[in-house]
Amino acid sequence: MELLDKESYHLGHLPAQATSAVAGRVLADIADTDDRIVVFTADLKYSNGTIEFEERHPNRFFNVGIAEQNMVSMAAGMAATGNITYVATFASFLGLLCCEQIRTDAAYTNLPVRLLGHHTGISFGYYGSSHHATEDIGIMRGIANLGVVCPCDAHSFEQALRQTVDVEGPIYFRLGRGRDPDVYTPDMPWEYGKLSVLREGKDGLVIANGIMVVAAMEAAERLSNEGLDLSVVDLHTIDPLDVDNLASQVASANKVFVAEEHSTRGGVATTVADTMVDQNIADVELIRIGFPADEYSEIAAPFYLYRHYGLDADGLVSRISSEYK
Amino acid sequence: MSADYDRLRERANFVRTETIRLIEIAKCGHYTSVFSAAEILSVLYYHVMNLSDDPDWPDRDRFLMSKGHMAVGVYPILADLGYFPKDWLDTYALLGSALGDHPDMRKIPGIDFSSGSLGHNLSNGVGMALGLRLRNSPARVFVIMGDGEQNEGQIWEGAQAASQFKVDNLVGIIDRNELCLDGATEEIMSIEPLADKWSAFGWNVHVIDGHSIHQLVDTFESLPQDSKSPQLILAKTVKGKGLDFMEGTRLWHVGLLAGKDAERAVAQLQ
């Protein structure tokens, strides 16, 4: 049926959007010359774009239906036979529903299983808290052997996939909704395990990752017009953590703002706080800007939810400037 | 290859006597869950599975114990096959040992996948069998499950996936000893009709006496190849088989036979 209203759409109409277009294409490209690559999804090949992998490598694509725990365990078993396995589903289901399969079958065994968790944070908007992932970094960074990386855009996601093919153990990729605007240009360096300094300023430091990076950059730009000169660091890799660089960045600032689409307990701010304690960094103020640790989300479309919780550029400008009054 | 039934019977008893010896080191262990599966282990490791001296040989058949608490009965076999020194067994459960109540594939040569949390290894086995198929290996994957473990939802996720992907290099085995920890499976959380359930999930089901060496050998040898279906052996067994005071009771799921009691048990097995 031809749709008459320009706002109507169905699953066949979703455009090839930023990060959501990356997984299928990049993994299929890698698999063209590497027969160890296998991709799984749980009835979400349109949502996460793995359909492109299926089209190009149908014998190495497994759609396991709506059975996420089985998917993670199957991927671990397959990784034990010389393959490198990628599973893609909603982040909320990976960190919470599949936590034990990730820990016991993929991490305890230290197998090359790649967990692509998309639609992190509150990006699902009015789908509600069942589909939100605001605890996943806290869960994943507590699991030994498991890498944790939160790319903020298509370029950095592609770099993260390409740079980690031969990493020995499992890795969790924390991904946004798939429509994330570009932060990096193709010529900018991005290195797994190394933080990226995106902007340097003398008045304070904003640490962000994932979708909060673009908001942090916009906020820093606007605040610079008001005379506030902020550094912005993309702390994309939570594990292995770039401890030395993080410590030196934090130690050279008076105020450190951590902006994250995650609970303020257990995520990026907690990672920074751990580093400050462990490295004996005193006299630096840590301000946590994230999802409230003791709440479940209100209902709204993503744009309005981000605004409600102050997790957009406006919210960051307002919160950061209030700390300098 | 013709089977040496007397030897297979002797190796099953070797599994039982070694289990008694190792658990006495640890001072606590899962005798009965090993004893119900001792003949299955013997027939698999000493007759059915295609193995070599190299525990990492890519084309070896795999054995996954989803009921990981039977590992104490598998370790003596792996040492017997030369995969690690026999004196490792003397360290069972002691600080620094590779060998614990549940098996760790990263520490123990010959363990094909770690386990311990029930319900996982069938899914691991489905992935492993598909991975071997992708790599054009002729190897098969054998996954033994407990009967109480059939309560786990993930078992049935794995069962439907094996059928969907036509994983015919996968053999599931259920050690149907009728008891879980708290009592009879049918009283705690019924799993019957088990054969019908697995058939309904698309598996070829073979119901046999899990203590009959002849039936085990015949069944494993006659499993179809290239059937496009996974195979399920529903092995009717007795929990604690071999020791009259252990057979069919839930009380010995975990326990210790120390000193004279261990000697008496070994004597009864001879």
Q: What is the mean pLDDT of residues A131-149?
A: 98
CA B60 to chain centre: 17
CA B133 to chain CA centroid, Å, is 23
Interface contact flag, A78 B135, Cβ < 8 Å: no
Check residue A18 and give its pLDDT. 55
Q: Which residues of A touch B (CB under 8 A)?
A: 35, 38, 59-60, 62, 64-65, 67, 69-70, 73-83, 85, 100-101, 104-105, 108-110
CB contact under 8 A, B105 and A77: no
The predicted-structure confidence for A171-209, as pLDDT tens digits, reads as follows 999 999 888 889 999 899 999 999 999 999 999 999 999
Statement: residue A80 has pLDDT above 60? yes
Which run of H or E residues covers position A89? Answer: strand A84-90
- Cα–Cα distances in angstroms (integers) from residue B268 to residues A41, A57, B66, B157, B263, in the given order: 53, 58, 29, 42, 9
Contact criterion met (CB < 8 Å) for B127 and A78: yes
What length is written for chain B?
Answer: 270
- Provide the pLDDT for residue B269: 96
Question: Is it true that A17-174 and A196-322 share their CATH fold?
Answer: yes
ipTM of the modeled complex: 0.96
pTM for this prediction: 0.96
Which among A43, A68, A81 is the top mutation candidate for probing chain B, defined by the most B β-carbons within 10 Å of its own β-carbon?
A81
Distance CA B87, CA B72 (A): 14
**Confidence at residue A187, expressed as pLDDT on a 0 to 100 scale:** 92
Q: How many CB atoms lie within 10 A of CB B58?
A: 11
Q: Which pLDDT score, from 0 to 100, does residue B40 have?
A: 98
Q: What is the DSSP letter of A250?
A: H
Q: What is the pLDDT of residue A2?
A: 75
- For B80-97, what is each residue's pLDDT tens digit? 999 999 999 999 999 999
Of B92, B157, B82, the C-alpha closest to B123 is B157
User: At CA A173, angle to CA A169 and CA A179, rounded to 5?
Assistant: 160
Within chain B, which residues score under 70 in pLDDT?
1
At the topology level, CATH places domain A196-322 in Rossmann fold (3.40.50)
The domains of chain B, with CATH numbers, are: 5-269 (3.40.50.970)
Residue spans of the domains in chain A: they are 17-174, 196-322
Contacts of A74 in chain B (CB under 8 A): 123-124, 126-127, 130, 158, 161
Among residues B162, B165, B215, B166, which one has the least CA distance to residue B48?
Answer: B215
Q: Helix (H, G, I), strand (E, B), or coil: what is residue A117?
A: strand
Per DSSP bridges, beta strands A147-149 and A237-239 are antiparallel
Chain B positions in Cβ-Cβ contact with residue A57 (cut-off 8 Å): none
Taking a C-beta distance cutoff of 8 angstroms, is the pair B171, B225 a contact? Answer: no
For A122-135, letters b (16+ CB in 10 Å) and e give: bbbbebeeebbbbb
pLDDT of residue A181: 87
pLDDT of residue A139: 98
Alpha helices in chain A (DSSP H): 22-33, 45-48, 51-56, 68-79, 91-92, 99-100, 136-140, 154-163, 212-225, 243-251, 268-278, 302-308, 313-322
CATH topology of domain A17-174: Rossmann fold (3.40.50)
pLDDT at A50: 93
3-state class (DSSP) for residue A136: helix
pLDDT at B2: 83
Q: What is the Cα–Cα distance from A119 to A121, expressed in whole angstroms? A: 7
pLDDT tens digits, one per residue of B199-222: 999 999 999 999 999 999 999 999
- Indicate yes or no: CB of B157 within 8 angstroms of CB of A67: yes
Degrees to nearest 5, angle at CA A264 with A258 and A265 = 125
To the nearest whole percent, how much of chain A has pLDDT over 90? 89
| Probe site for chain A from B57, B118, B122, B134 (most A CB atoms < 10 A) | B134
Is there a contact between B161 and A109 if contact means CB atoms under 8 Å apart? Answer: no
CB contact under 8 Å between B106 and A109, yes or no, is yes
What does the H/E/C string look like for chain B?
Answer: CCCCHHHHHHHHHHHHHHHHHHHHHHCCECHHHHHCCHHHHHHHHHHHCCCCCCCCCCCCCEEEECCHHHHHHHHHHHHHCCCCCHHHHHHCCCCCCCCCCCCCCCCCCCCCCCCCCCCCHHHHHHHHHHHHHHCCCCCCEEEEEECHHHHCHHHHHHHHHHHHCCCCCEEEEEEECCECCCCEHHHHCCCCCHHHHHHHCCCEEEEEECCCHHHHHHHHHCCCCCCCCCEEEEEECCCCCCCCCCCCCCCCCCECCCHHHHHHHHHHHC
CA distance B93 to B69: 13
Task: Give ∠ CA B160-B163-B167 in degrees, rounded to 5.
Answer: 130
At A3 the pLDDT is 79
Closest chain A residue to the Cα of B124, Cα to Cα = A77
Q: How far apart are CA A55 and CA A43, in angstroms?
A: 15
| Interface contact flag, A70 B123, Cβ < 8 Å | yes
Measured between CA atoms, the residue of chain B closest to residue A109 is B106
